Amino acid sequence: MAKVLLVEARFYDHLNDMLLAGARRAVEKAGHSHETITVPGALEVPGAIALAVETAQYDAYVALGVVIRGETYHFEIVSNESARGVMALTMDGIAIGNGILTTEDEAQAIRRADPEQLDKGGGAAEAALAMLELRRRLG
């Protein structure tokens, strides 16, 4: 059994609730355990995962959050840099599923976050578990 850490950027409560529900359901369905930690925003997710990796308590990680385009360049910075940070950790061999949504508006975010629609939280958890399995197989 694997222990999975769900790292959520808790900025939009109602959207994160859906992402977490999907991720938790996927991890539990696969027969694994999970814990959740919360960080202020998507930019902090990769750093939190890096800190957790140092503890060697977890086998896989799921990055969760929502970034909705606004009127400023901040959207691009948060979207690009959070994805870059998660990818850097992935390239270091860490099993991560990236469920940080980057959308144009709230309606797109709801569709993607809702476990009964696109279930991107569940998909991110499944990706993390697939990468864990691959690492174990190749390891």
Active site residues: 74
Residue 68 labeled ligand binder: yes
Closest to 125 (Cα-Cα) out of 45, 19, 13: 19
Residue 8 labeled ligand binder: no
Q: What is the number of other CB atoms lying within 10 angstroms of the CB of residue 77?
A: 12
Residue 72 labeled ligand binder: yes
Residue 104 labeled ligand binder: no
Are 34 and 27 in contact by the 8 Å Cβ rule? The answer is yes
Residue 44 labeled ligand binder: yes
What SS3 class is residue 30? coil
* CA pair distance 64, 19, nearest whole angstrom: 7
Residue 67 labeled ligand binder: yes
Annotated binding site for (2S)-2-hydroxy-3-oxobutyl phosphate: 71-72, 112
Residues making up the annotated binding site for 5-amino-6-(D-ribitylamino)uracil are 11, 42-44, 66-68, 98
Please report, in range form, the residues annotated as the binding site. 11, 42-44, 66-68, 71-72, 98, 112
